[in-house]
Amino acid sequence: MTQPSEPKSSEPVFNVPPVVIATMAVLALVHAFRLLALTDAEDMQFLLTFAFIPARYDTHTVLEAFPGGFGADLWTFFTYAFLHADLLHIGLNLAWLLPFGSALARRFGARRYALFLLVTAAAGALAHLVSHPGATVPMIGASAAISGAMAAAMRFIFQPHGPIELWREGVGDGAAYRVPAVPLPATLRDARFLLFLGVWIGLNALFGLGTVSFGEQGQDIAWQAHIGGFVAGLVLFTAFDPVIPRGEFDTEPSA
């Protein structure tokens, strides 16, 4: 007589973590505030105060040209990620944040998730600063932070009994987000990661090199910032990951 199998612990596949909903709400509210509450002149002042502008750090630039002073030199490494150019820009970022941010929040928890996005946003700003020294055009958008979330998710979503496997079965399981991650060298050799990376780089190249226009006015894409956030997400994942590394997880205790 066969024993009935234990029911699989499950949760809705599209059960979005509250911290991700809060992130999306903040991004939407900031954009709505700029659209509905600020005049064009006020919005420009808002951008100059909170967007990331490499010229701030150029010793030949007149400091009075940018409001905020020393404080803005620091906070714009993070606040630029809360600003977006138009509805298409914020819509695309929210669409990418929903799956990858949710995977990361389920694994990291709310505090680590929020801190991780801020750190990868700063890494994207630093990459933009290095690649665009003295540039006066403001950089805005959460894409660098979301790129970091994508990279971090690549470290665990493909693992056996991980999120991808559960998604294919049409169920959600909290344990799927706590499977031990593989080391970074193994991730870099994974064909699935390399395929994703190729597609992601291709999309950045199409938009960044102007092959495909973006937005109503064909805004430039800060693809260097995306790469900075992505690399930071790959490398810093282990420092934030609360799950026991696979090497320790598989090790037998000594006698």
Secondary structure E strands in the chain: none
Residue linked to tokens 């938009």: 207
With beta carbons less than 8 A apart as the criterion, state whether 205 and 223 touch. Answer: yes
Predicted pLDDT of residue 227:
93
State how far the Cα of 113 lies from the Cα of 232, in Å rounded to an integer: 14
pTM for this predicted structure: 0.83
Q: How many CB atoms lie within 10 A of CB 58?
A: 15
| Helices 143-153 and 223-240: angle between axes, nearest 10 degrees | 40
Each domain of the chain, given as residue ranges in start order, spans 18-242
Hey, is 228 helix, strand or coil? helix
Give the rounded percent of residues in the chain with a pLDDT score beyond 90: 60
State how far the Cα of 205 lies from the Cα of 223, in Å rounded to an integer: 8
Q: Residue type for 220, please?
A: D
Hey, is 209 helix, strand or coil? coil
pLDDT, average across residues 202-214: 58
Residue 46 pLDDT class (50, 70, 90 cuts): very high
Summarised one tens digit per residue, pLDDT across range 60-93 is: 765 567 888 889 999 999 999 999 999 999 999 9
Q: Dihedral of CA 70/119/100/204: which sign?
A: positive
| Helices 18-37 and 110-131: angle between axes, nearest 10 degrees | 50
Cα torsion for 6, 250, 105, 227, to the nearest 10°? -140
Whether 214 shows a pLDDT value over 70: the answer reads no
Summarised one tens digit per residue, pLDDT across range 175-199 is: 788 888 889 999 999 999 999 999 9
Predicted pLDDT of residue 172:
55
Within 13 Å of residue 165, how many CA atoms lie on the same side as its CB? 13
What DSSP string runs through 81-128?
GG--SSHHHHHHHHHHHHHHHHHHHHHH-HHHHHHHHHHHHHHHHHHH
Assigned token pair, 77: 């490494």
With beta carbons less than 8 A apart as the criterion, state whether 130 and 157 touch. Answer: no
Residue 146's closest CA among 118, 174, 171?
118
Q: Among 3-7, 83-87, 136-140, which stretch is predicted with the lowest mean pLDDT? A: 3-7
pLDDT, average across residues 120-137: 94
Residue 77 or 4, more confident? 77
Q: Which CATH number fits domain 18-242: 3.90.226.10, 3.30.390.30, 1.20.1540.10, 1.10.10.10?
A: 1.20.1540.10
State how far the Cα of 56 lies from the Cα of 63, in Å rounded to an integer: 7
Distance separating the N- and C-terminal Cα atoms of the chain: 39
